[in-house]
Amino acid sequence: MIRIALVRHCEAANAYADFKRPLNSNGLAQAPRTADFLRQQGMPLTRLVCSPATRTRDTARLIAETLQWQVTPEEKAALYNPSTLTPLLAEIAAAQDGLVLVGHNPGLTDLISELCLIYVGLPPSGAAILGREDGKFTVLARHLC
C-alpha cells in the first residue's frame, strides 16, 4: 500500500501579510507533535513538498528536523492556493510511498474529499495519512493536534 501524508501548516502569527506569516509560539510547539504522529504511523519519506508560504516552509522544515529526514522541502505553489490543487491530483495518483504534502486549508480538506470521497477537516498542524491501493484512496489515520 502506498501512503501519502497531507499536513496543514502549524499555527501562524496574524500580524503579517498572509504569505509571510511565520509560526507563532504555539505553532513552533505543534510541529514536533505532528512529526511524532508521522513517526508513530511509520510514515516513510521519499518526497517532502510544501507551499512557498513562510508558515508551511517552517512547518515542513521543523518536521524534517524532528524526524531527522535528510531532505530539503520542495516548494510547490499549487499547495498555497486551493483552486490550483487540481493539477496535483495526477502527481499524487502517481506518487510513490512516502510523499508528504504540507499546505493550507481549505485546499487540503478539499483534496482529501476529492481523493477519498469523505470530509476530513484539518486544524492547524492537523494531518491525514492516505493509503492508495488498487488506485483507490482511503484515510488510514488522522492527527488533530
pTM: 0.93
- Contact assessment for residue 104 and residue 9, using Cβ atoms and an 8 Å cutoff: yes
pLDDT at 18 over 80: yes
Q: What CA–CA distances, in Å, run from 47 to 10, 83, 122?
A: 19, 23, 21
Examine the pLDDT at 129 and tell me if it is beyond 80. Answer: yes
Range of weakest confidence among 51-55, 94-98, 137-141: 94-98
Q: What is the pLDDT of residues 48-88, one digit of tens each?
A: 999 999 999 999 999 999 999 988 888 888 888 767 777 77
To the nearest whole number, what is the mean pLDDT of the chain?
91
23 pLDDT exceeds 80? Answer: yes
At residue 116, the pLDDT reads: 93
pLDDT tens for residues 97-115?
A: 999 999 999 999 989 998 9
123-to-30, 32, 74, 128 alpha-carbon distances in Å: 11, 15, 23, 11
Q: Which domains does the chain have, with CATH numbers?
A: 2-143 (3.40.50.1240)
Strand 47-50 and strand 74-75: the pairing is parallel
